[in-house]
Structure 1
Amino acid sequence: MYLHGDAEWLDAAARLAIRARPLSRPNPSVGAIIVRDGRVQGRGWTKAGGRPHAEAVALAQAGPNAAGATLYTTLEPCAHASPRGPTCADLCSAAELKRAVIGLEDPDPRTAGSGIARLVAAGVAVTVLDRPPVRSSLAGYLCRARYGRPHVTLKLATSLDGCIALENGESRWITGEDARRHVHSRRAMADAILVGGETWRTDRPSLDVRLPGLKARSPRRLVLTRKAAPGGIEAIGSPSGIHQLGDVQYLYVEGGAQTAAAFLQGDLVDTLHLYQAPVLIGAGRQALGDIGLSDLAAAHERWAVSDSRQLGSDRFTAYERIRSA
């Protein structure tokens, strides 16, 4: 049963879930809010290392006030046994909740549907409410479940005419400080960051997070190359190698034109982050190499704007890939 306000509370839980990214790995980043009589009784998000889960944190905050309340959680409460504690489905059942509004059924076969069934058996009225903010907050987890790979964000910093460097290779700095700080904030939300071999050999980028308070959030470093990787960085022989990255849910790609083209041609990019500086370069190095497009009609209506903002003198636009169901 859908009630007025359910969507808003669930969207709020999705915003909480983002706080868990990427520290929740290998578990998904989940957000949960417990509401009774229009007031928040408890809230939580998945903690570092994947435990405790969001629902457990919210229930601990709510205490006895959870009885008769509504739980809003972005993902179906877990129902599979773990040596690290009771399942969230059991915790929720014992709390005597009145309702549970769940964003998505868990694709993990160990829980898929059984968490919901356990709540219903305990007398909890369950509503599954699929919301875009929920799917966005779980993008990495859902990508791993559906495609067996991390969610990939491709970042490009270009001039107005689509160049990423001068003809001689000089590229520092096309964009300004505000844009670069924003890039570092995106790096802090990734499990791993990847550049191409040429970028690594030419620029030796540090690929870390250099924002106050977030330096410890620097992601795992990868380079796309068939050659031996230097110390402190891992080699991936081809874009398809990202399927072997284990618990990586979010991959941030900062490669040059050939690396960007390889990921696009392999249909491996889910989100595009474009930073455009208000400069013209002319005969420079283009942002993309050949992506194998032979039919112009195939280039249309494949990306949708999800965010757009001014960062100092530069323009940031995020695009989400439009995929068929």
Structure 2
Amino acid sequence: MWSTIDITMMSRAIMLARRGRYTTRPNPNVGCVIVDANGVIVGEGWHQRAGGPHAEVHAWRMAGDKARGATAYVTLEPCSHYGRTPPCANGLIAQGLKRVVIAMTDPNPQVAGRGIAMLQAAGIDVCSGLLADEARKLNPGFLSRMERGRPYVTVKLAASLDGKTALANGESKWITGPAAREDVQRLRALSCAVVTGIDTVLADDPSMNVRYQQLGYLQQQLDEDELIQPLRVVLDSRCRMPATARMLSLPGQTLLVSCQAYPAEFMRTLPANVQCLQLPDVAGRIDLSALLQYLATSCNSVLVEAGATLCGAFISNALADELVLYQAPKILGASGRNLLQLPQYQQLSDLPSLQLIEQRKVGVDNRLTLKLGD
């Protein structure tokens, strides 16, 4: 069904789409290639920033009159509704495309097949499903939000060879090396929100932001003014957040989540970029399902950087999709602090299902990426 040119051009569109992965959120990453009847690329582009032109617009602007009678390869079904930009399906029709090849339909209820129907009604030959699995990998967070009503959740962990995160006295700086800490900055830059717990804030007073100077090679691909700071989310069920916490004075948005109202005096100290949210509790702790449902209004992907209790809660409640573990070549001993707090499993069949997706060296450390669930 698919020609060599079809596969080559869609592969090119997928590669282009990846260029927007740090800047498009909460929109999906999309790439588009326009090819004339001779198999020559006459236009291409990718979605670069939410609110800006979509991939198809960049491609047809580059193609100009050469778009008429050509074939467009798009990694995601062209939109069919008016948002911050006009519908791309209408634009492709106006440009006189003869054929449109789509990797996958858009699960967004505002699109969900309507873009394809519009193109077909205009007499355009539409084919879909080419390299669909590869296209899905471009947007795990967007797809999770649209299909499951919650963001894609990654739990970041760092431990010694014997599975410890700190010495018994709490000392942990630094278990991992500078290259791994740089890699974490890039993980944050990919995330819509970074979630931590109040105990981590009280113990470490972290910034939980992306530090541009520590992005390493990514600085060559991303200008500092393109960097989008993730939403910093602190789970603080009993309202223990200190007004002097470092992150409260940093640029970017911070969300404090509690199970009760913060005192009025504390609220008066908060800058405008800090918001508070009250959610129901489950056994005295914040309802994590309710938290993810709230974050799904604007967040595709969530990175959890927290202690053993909160990280364990996301895993044991089947709310984590992926683990990223940085394993350092150190041994901290039996009295060191454990990586995760999980239930006392009685049978091997009760253990969380894990699948190793990637393993690679990051400086002196080993980075493991594991998928959770079936």
TM-score, normalised to structure 2, is 0.79
Equivalent residue in structure 2 for 1:259, among 310, 313, 328 = 310
Distance 2:355 2:5 in 1: 27
Structure 1 residue 97: deviation in Å?
2.1
The answer as to 2:254 corresponding to 1:223 is no
Whether contact under 8 Å (1:25, 1:50) holds in the other structure is: no
Distance 1:139 1:28 in 2: 9
Over residues 79-120 of structure 1, what are the superposed CA-to-partner deviations in whole Å (9 max), with x where a residue is unaligned?
A: 1234x4431011111222232221221112222111111112
Q: CA 1:114–1:221 in structure 2 vs 1: closer, same or farther (change >3 Å)?
A: same
Residues 281-296 of structure 1 mapped to structure 2, 5 A cutoff? 281-283=332-334, 284-291=336-343, 293-296=345-348
Letter in 1 for 2:306: G
Match of 1:162 in 2: 163
SS at match of 2:19: helix
Equivalent residue in structure 1 for 2:330, among 279, 293, 300 = 279
Q: CA 1:271–1:225 in structure 2 vs 1: closer, same or farther (change >3 Å)?
A: same
Letter in 2 for 1:235: L
Equivalent residue in structure 1 for 2:288, among 207, 229, 239 = 239
Q: CA 1:250–1:201 in structure 2 vs 1: closer, same or farther (change >3 Å)?
A: same
Distance 2:159 2:231 in 1: 25
Q: CA 1:307–1:209 in structure 2 vs 1: closer, same or farther (change >3 Å)?
A: same
Structure 1 residue 203: deviation in Å?
0.5
SS at match of 1:43: strand
Structure 1 residue 196: deviation in Å?
1.7
Match of 1:108 in 2: 108
Distance 1:24 1:132 in 2: 20
Whether contact under 8 Å (1:181, 1:211) holds in the other structure is: no
Structure 1 residue 145: deviation in Å?
1.2
Match of 2:358 in 1: 307
SS at match of 2:212: coil
Distance 1:191 1:224 in 2: 16
Q: CA 1:95–1:293 in structure 2 vs 1: closer, same or farther (change >3 Å)?
A: farther
User: How big is the alpha-carbon RMSD for the aligned residues of Structure 1 and Structure 2?
Assistant: 2.1
Q: CA 1:49–1:38 in structure 2 vs 1: closer, same or farther (change >3 Å)?
A: same
Distance 1:127 1:309 in 2: 37
Q: CA 1:310–1:52 in structure 2 vs 1: closer, same or farther (change >3 Å)?
A: same
Distance 1:312 1:22 in 2: 23
Distance 1:290 1:321 in 2: 15
Letter in 2 for 1:195: T
**More divergent stretch after superposition (73-82 vs 173-182):** 73-82
Match of 1:31 in 2: 31
SS at match of 1:127: strand
Q: CA 1:122–1:146 in structure 2 vs 1: closer, same or farther (change >3 Å)?
A: same
Structure 1 residue 133: deviation in Å?
2.4
Over residues 257-303 of structure 1, what are the superposed CA-to-partner deviations in whole Å (9 max), with x where a residue is unaligned?
A: 11111111121111211111111112211111114644312437x33
Higher Rg: 2
Paired residues in the alignment total 321
Whether contact under 8 Å (1:11, 1:131) holds in the other structure is: no
Whether contact under 8 Å (2:160, 2:175) holds in the other structure is: yes
Whether contact under 8 Å (2:71, 2:99) holds in the other structure is: yes
Query: How much identity, in percent, do the aligned residues show?
Result: 40
Whether contact under 8 Å (2:69, 2:97) holds in the other structure is: yes
Whether contact under 8 Å (1:30, 1:74) holds in the other structure is: yes
Whether contact under 8 Å (2:52, 2:85) holds in the other structure is: no
Q: CA 1:291–1:280 in structure 2 vs 1: closer, same or farther (change >3 Å)?
A: same
Match of 1:98 in 2: 98
Whether contact under 8 Å (1:2, 1:127) holds in the other structure is: no
SS at match of 1:145: helix
Match of 1:146 in 2: 147
Structure 1 regions of 5+ residues with no counterpart? none
**More divergent stretch after superposition (187-196 vs 131-140):** 131-140
Structure 1 residue 308: deviation in Å?
2.1
Distance 1:7 1:298 in 2: 42
Q: CA 1:182–1:77 in structure 2 vs 1: closer, same or farther (change >3 Å)?
A: same
Distance 1:92 1:244 in 2: 35
Q: CA 1:200–1:120 in structure 2 vs 1: closer, same or farther (change >3 Å)?
A: same
Distance 1:153 1:101 in 2: 32
Distance 1:249 1:291 in 2: 28
Over residues 134-193 of structure 1, what are the superposed CA-to-partner deviations in whole Å (9 max), with x where a residue is unaligned?
A: 111111111111221111111111111111111111111111011111110111111111
Structure 1 residue 314: deviation in Å?
0.6
The answer as to 2:190 corresponding to 1:189 is yes
Whether contact under 8 Å (1:11, 1:134) holds in the other structure is: no
Q: CA 1:4–1:298 in structure 2 vs 1: closer, same or farther (change >3 Å)?
A: farther
